A and B are shown apart, each in its own frame.
Chain A
Amino acid sequence: MHYNSRMSATTESLALLSPELLAKLERLELVSRKVFRGRMKGERRSRRKGQSVEFADFRNYVAGDDLRLIDWNLYARLDQLFLKLFQEEEDLHIYPLVDVSESMNFGTPTKLHVAKQLAAALGYVGLCRADRVSVQALGNQGRRAPVLRGRSGLWKMLQYLDSVTSGDNVSLHDAIKDFSLRNSGTGVVILISDLMDKGGYESALRMLVGRRMDVFVMHVLSPEEIDPPLRGDRRLIDAEDGDETEITINAYVLKRYQETLQSFISSVKTFCSRRSIVYLPVRTDQPVDDVMTRYLRQRGVVR
């Protein structure tokens, strides 16, 4: 049951995003519920008033305002100085974070592969919208993740994702802490993980929320996890830490497992909704383009 879908970089990159999907992704936009201050001018409306063509508001002139913004027509009519404010269009920082722990290397296709696909797709959406995109693997491999902007970054992004392998068994907490230290700004964080961390996922998410990130959690679960095809007397070996659990799997135990799984999912759901985190359960047997174009759109993640 150990899957190691090591393929060549090219086939994998091809497998990550198909041309049809790329075409569809070009029309999508990631919706952030928060408006962040961008570093550079982008295609995204900002809360800041700025220099776009779109009108936002008027306000009274106070000393020190840029005289260029005064609406002289209003001054002529009302003999008062008003500033005409326009919407500022800014870029957005998008961080699709891929959990590369050994537990992700499981299933057909592996959860890691699906996670990479999702990260690539989301990253590409951001690239197309001239957002600042940094697809990162959690753990040490994240340190060499490129920061990309513009559609031309697709190749680099895919190259990076191809180079990412599983087996970086850092806890979620440590990985997010590391990420937070490296990336000081705010933005949209899309955590693609199975959340199966014995240390718990809560502190990691709390940390992201605390840094005022707009957090999305894509909870990747394989069908084998949702409905394990295991029966009888088994010794279960944890792929990450080699922890062994002896268990006799029968209908009763399976029922209990289902209950545990559901309570796990619902606890994650509750945790996320309390903190305005968007929780998105994803099954690996769902096609990625379906997830991107239909599921995420339904959930209002992209538009």
Chain B
Amino acid sequence: MSWISTLDRWQWALFAAVPIGIILLYFLKLRREPVEIPSTYLWSRTVEDLHVNSLFQRIRRNLLLFLQLLAVALAAFALLRPGIRGQTSAQPRSIFLLDASASMMARDTEGRQNRFETARKMIRDRIDAMDDRETAMLITFSDRAEVLQSFTSDRNRLRAALDQAQVTNRPTDIIGALEAADGLANPRRSSTTGDENDVQVADPQPADLLVYSDGGFRDVEGFDVGNLKPVYRKIGSDQARNLAITAFNADRNVEQAGAAKAFGTINNFGASEETCNVSLYVNGQWRDSASVTLGSGEETGLSFSLADQEDAATLEVRLESSTGGSDQPFEDDLLIDNYAYAGLRPLRTVSVLVITTGNKPLRLGLSTDNAAKICVPTFKSPDYLQTPEYAGRAEAGLDDLIIYDRCRPEALPNTNTFFIGALPSDQWSWASEPGQTILVDVDRTHPMMQYLELFSLLIFQGRAVEGPPGTRELVGGDAGTVLALAPRDGYQDLVLGFELITTGEDGSPQTNTNWYAERSWPVFLLNVLRYLAGAADATSAPSFLPGDTIRLRVESQLESVDIARGNGTPETVPTGASGSVEYVDSDVPGAYKVIANGKLVDLFCINLFGGRESDILPRESFDLGYETVETAGTVETRKEYWRWLLLGMLALIAVEWWLYNRRIA
């Protein structure tokens, strides 16, 4: 039998005043009704011996007072919370590992409480059951471990630490917690063995390692439990229901401007078949829905097509109830994975270096409104190729695209190139003599050839080109390939077999084709920028896990950016060297916007795309090093009696009231 006092000293002092008050009040309130009787002769003889010590006799003979005092005594006992331990622990030390990962938010335990609260209650019961000789520590773990309370026998501190523990949206990694527990329970030798001067700071002591979790983590390999005696307390129901979005991504269709597609994967981790609606919201506006029915353990993929989505957008997919009204969220045991976010980034601004002696059509084509949005061109003369600045630039691949107009570098740069009327390297060769060229075939399947009407082109002097193996013909002429694309070590070289501008014999520029006057010219250049320069690349916003540290790169001249979730209040984050931004406040899933100077510069998303977290059916056992830890059948709790004491107190008060009424009547 152990006691936990629920009152402080001064509160007990106040409480002690209650029975004293009852006795005093009893004498004060005692109104004796005067009755005239013939003689007190017999009565006085009756109470003769009561008069000897009348005060105590009166108390002794008063059942009502006695009952009242008994009720107060019972209340005092109840306040002391008497109880016995259901089961005694083997070890005097305990380490509580409390799983604070996202899956612990599942509300599948008794009373729709979430697992974390249930585990917390179990730990609290366990702490209550501790006696003074036992020590315990408390560690929570999600994707990182946190020692909330190191070894102590002070139960109040343990309880306070337990109150501080909070469930997170993060995935689970138990290793950190195990290492923390291991470090405290199995102290390593501080130096080599056999050194007499090496004083060990702590003796290893055995400890119970109590893991309160649903087992939603990877088995731990290569961990020696040593003195730790692992006990797994399984939290959660085997009948849990959970539909989860395990993947969601949106990307632009590089082959089709403005078109985008969103892909999602939905899993049913529950034990029963579920039906729900999957709705897609773009910038908070409903766009599309689909109905999904999944049996237990099944998975399905969903895709939504988006048109006219040139601009940046945030996408959200929600699981909604198929039966309730529209926008009713789907109710399963774990809600956090019923939402997923993705973003379509704004088009990238690409840097284009143009090496030319002068090419007006090219200059015009790169400065159209649409091109200017995504392209920063730099024009240099071929002399520039000899400068060290160019060498460094080419080596580092600072430009997204280098256009060589009728010239050729000594070595190809580490970036994509577009050669106009020139061959990139010796691997390329001319396949025909210069002559008038008639275009015969255009490969419209290639994104760079989209929307192009080229058959009306006049080309005065062109040659067919032949590239290295893997070269793809984009435009074919009567003499052979006119426009070819070839891969090169991860880069691509685009080679055009005719010049746009030729230099006349007098040195003045002459046109070699009428392409610059065609509508297809700026479109072609835009396609080149999108595809070859990569403006349309990586338009899908990256997704991070909750709790991840998010590193972004923005333009280095920005001093700070504002980062906001959805339409929330932005948080200003200073940019570091070379435009890197680190954002750590990433616990809440959502689509985050990075805004600089009022302009959206980047997007990222935080999603719980962890199958392990969403797979909320609790595991029966897990491997810890070379041991398999099975769930402990019985849960050790303190058996408390205060409820019965309180009931007894109420019964006493009822009896007292009944007696009182019977007496008055």
A-side contacts of B44, CB under 8 Å: 243, 245
> By the criterion CB–CB under 8 Å, are A260 and B45 in contact?
yes
Query: Which of A135-143, A149-157, A225-233 contacts the other chain?
Result: A225-233
Is B33 in contact with chain A by the CB < 8 A criterion?
yes
Chain A residue with the shortest CB-CB distance to B39: A196
Is B1 in contact with chain A by the CB < 8 A criterion?
no
Contact with B along A9-40 (1 / 0, CB 8 A): 00000000000000000000000000000000
Is A56 in contact with chain B by the CB < 8 A criterion?
no
Contact with A along B31-68 (1 / 0, CB 8 A): 11111111111111111001000000010011100000
Contact with B along A215-235 (1 / 0, CB 8 A): 000000010010010111111
Is A248 in contact with chain B by the CB < 8 A criterion?
yes
> By the criterion CB–CB under 8 Å, are A104 and B38 in contact?
yes
> By the criterion CB–CB under 8 Å, are B33 and A233 in contact?
yes
> By the criterion CB–CB under 8 Å, are A260 and B37 in contact?
no
Query: Which of A206-214, A251-259, A291-299 contacts the other chain?
Result: A251-259
Taking a contact as CB atoms closer than 8 A, the residue among B36, B46, B47, B664 that contacts A2 in the complex is B36
Q: For chain A, residues 83 to 105, give those with C-beta under 8 angstroms from any C-beta of chain B.
A: 102-105
B-side contacts of A197, CB under 8 Å: 41
> By the criterion CB–CB under 8 Å, are A103 and B36 in contact?
no
Supposing A243-B44, A250-B61, A256-B46 touch, asked if A234 and B34 sit within 8 A by C-beta, the answer is yes
> By the criterion CB–CB under 8 Å, are A260 and B42 in contact?
yes
Supposing A196-B41, A236-B43 touch, asked if A248 and B34 sit within 8 A by C-beta, the answer is no
Cα of A252 to Cα of B47 in the assembled complex, Å: 11
Chain A residue with the shortest CB-CB distance to B41: A196
A-side contacts of B40, CB under 8 Å: 236-238, 243-245
> By the criterion CB–CB under 8 Å, are A103 and B38 in contact?
yes
Chain A residue with the shortest CB-CB distance to B58: A248
> By the criterion CB–CB under 8 Å, are B43 and A247 in contact?
yes
> By the criterion CB–CB under 8 Å, are A248 and B61 in contact?
yes
A-side contacts of B42, CB under 8 Å: 196, 225, 257, 260-261, 264
Cα of A246 to Cα of B50 in the assembled complex, Å: 11
Chain B residue with the shortest CB-CB distance to A261: B42
Cα of A250 to Cα of B39 in the assembled complex, Å: 19
Cα of A197 to Cα of B63 in the assembled complex, Å: 33
> By the criterion CB–CB under 8 Å, are B46 and A257 in contact?
yes
> By the criterion CB–CB under 8 Å, are A1 and B33 in contact?
no
Contact with A along B11-32 (1 / 0, CB 8 A): 0000000000000000000111
Is A106 in contact with chain B by the CB < 8 A criterion?
yes
Chain A residue with the shortest CB-CB distance to B45: A260
> By the criterion CB–CB under 8 Å, are A235 and B38 in contact?
no
Chain A interface: which size bin? 35 or more
> By the criterion CB–CB under 8 Å, are A246 and B32 in contact?
yes
A160 → chain B closest CB, angstroms: 24
B663 → chain A closest CB, angstroms: 5
Is A240 in contact with chain B by the CB < 8 A criterion?
yes
B356 → chain A closest CB, angstroms: 119
> By the criterion CB–CB under 8 Å, are B33 and A234 in contact?
yes
Cα of A132 to Cα of B125 in the assembled complex, Å: 97
A14 → chain B closest CB, angstroms: 26
B-side contacts of A246, CB under 8 Å: 32
Q: For chain A, residues 44 to 75, give those with C-beta under 8 angstroms from any C-beta of chain B.
A: none
Taking a contact as CB atoms closer than 8 A, the residue among A105, A231, A237, A252 that contacts B34 in the complex is A237
B-side contacts of A234, CB under 8 Å: 32-35
Chain B residue with the shortest CB-CB distance to A246: B32
A97 → chain B closest CB, angstroms: 18
> By the criterion CB–CB under 8 Å, are B38 and A196 in contact?
yes
> By the criterion CB–CB under 8 Å, are B35 and A235 in contact?
yes
> By the criterion CB–CB under 8 Å, are A238 and B31 in contact?
no
B-side contacts of A238, CB under 8 Å: 37, 39-41
B-side contacts of A253, CB under 8 Å: 46-47, 61
Chain B residue with the shortest CB-CB distance to A200: B41
Chain B residue with the shortest CB-CB distance to A105: B38
> By the criterion CB–CB under 8 Å, are B43 and A245 in contact?
yes
Cα of A260 to Cα of B50 in the assembled complex, Å: 14
Is A198 in contact with chain B by the CB < 8 A criterion?
yes
B-side contacts of A264, CB under 8 Å: 42, 45
> By the criterion CB–CB under 8 Å, are B47 and A247 in contact?
yes
Is A194 in contact with chain B by the CB < 8 A criterion?
yes
B-side contacts of A257, CB under 8 Å: 42-43, 46
Taking a contact as CB atoms closer than 8 A, the residue among B31, B39, B50 that contacts A233 in the complex is B31
Taking a contact as CB atoms closer than 8 A, the residue among B35, B39, B45, B62 that contacts A103 in the complex is B39
Supposing A248-B61, A250-B61 touch, asked if A260 and B46 sit within 8 A by C-beta, the answer is yes
Which of A104, A244, A245, A256 is packed against the most chain B CB atoms within 10 Å?
A245
B660 → chain A closest CB, angstroms: 10
A-side contacts of B62, CB under 8 Å: 248, 250
> By the criterion CB–CB under 8 Å, are A240 and B34 in contact?
no
Which of A233, A235, A250 is packed against the most chain B CB atoms within 10 Å?
A233
Cα of A136 to Cα of B132 in the assembled complex, Å: 87
> By the criterion CB–CB under 8 Å, are B30 and A233 in contact?
yes
Chain B residue with the shortest CB-CB distance to A197: B41
B36 → chain A closest CB, angstroms: 5
A285 → chain B closest CB, angstroms: 15
Chain B residue with the shortest CB-CB distance to A256: B46
Which of B32, B40, B63 is packed against the most chain A CB atoms within 10 Å?
B40
> By the criterion CB–CB under 8 Å, are B663 and A232 in contact?
yes
Contact with B along A172-192 (1 / 0, CB 8 A): 000000000000000000000
A-side contacts of B46, CB under 8 Å: 247, 253, 256-257, 260
Is A145 in contact with chain B by the CB < 8 A criterion?
no
Q: For chain A, residues 80 to 138, give those with C-beta under 8 angstroms from any C-beta of chain B.
A: 102-107, 111
> By the criterion CB–CB under 8 Å, are A102 and B38 in contact?
yes
> By the criterion CB–CB under 8 Å, are A230 and B38 in contact?
no
> By the criterion CB–CB under 8 Å, are B34 and A198 in contact?
no
B-side contacts of A256, CB under 8 Å: 46-47
B-side contacts of A198, CB under 8 Å: 39, 41
Cα of A225 to Cα of B664 in the assembled complex, Å: 21
> By the criterion CB–CB under 8 Å, are A235 and B32 in contact?
yes
Taking a contact as CB atoms closer than 8 A, the residue among A233, A243, A261 that contacts B32 in the complex is A233
Which of A1, A105, A248 is packed against the most chain B CB atoms within 10 Å?
A248
> By the criterion CB–CB under 8 Å, are B36 and A237 in contact?
yes
B65 → chain A closest CB, angstroms: 10
B522 → chain A closest CB, angstroms: 111
Taking a contact as CB atoms closer than 8 A, the residue among A2, A194, A248 that contacts B39 in the complex is A194
B-side contacts of A104, CB under 8 Å: 38
Chain A residue with the shortest CB-CB distance to B33: A234
Cα of A42 to Cα of B124 in the assembled complex, Å: 105
Is A147 in contact with chain B by the CB < 8 A criterion?
no
B251 → chain A closest CB, angstroms: 90
Cα of A194 to Cα of B58 in the assembled complex, Å: 30
> By the criterion CB–CB under 8 Å, are B35 and A237 in contact?
yes
Q: For chain B, residues 586 to 619, give those with C-beta under 8 angstroms from any C-beta of chain A.
A: none
B157 → chain A closest CB, angstroms: 52
Is A239 in contact with chain B by the CB < 8 A criterion?
yes
B-side contacts of A235, CB under 8 Å: 32-35
B-side contacts of A228, CB under 8 Å: 37
Cα of A2 to Cα of B34 in the assembled complex, Å: 12
Contact with A along B52-89 (1 / 0, CB 8 A): 00000010011100000000000000000000000000
- 7 A-B pairs closest in CB distance: A103-B38, A196-B39, A235-B32, A106-B38, A238-B40, A196-B41, A103-B39
Contacts A238-B41, A244-B34, A257-B42 aside, 14 further interface pairs with beta carbons under 8 A come to A1-B36, A106-B38, A231-B663, A234-B32, A237-B35, A237-B36, A237-B37, A240-B39, A243-B44, A248-B58, A253-B46, A256-B46, A257-B46, A260-B45
25 A-B pairs in the complex with CB atoms less than 8 angstroms apart = A106-B37, A194-B39, A196-B42, A225-B38, A228-B37, A232-B664, A233-B31, A234-B32, A234-B34, A235-B33, A237-B34, A237-B36, A237-B37, A238-B37, A238-B39, A240-B38, A240-B39, A245-B47, A248-B62, A250-B663, A253-B46, A253-B47, A257-B42, A260-B42, A264-B42
Interface residues of B (CB under 8 A from A): 30-47, 50, 58, 61-63, 663-664
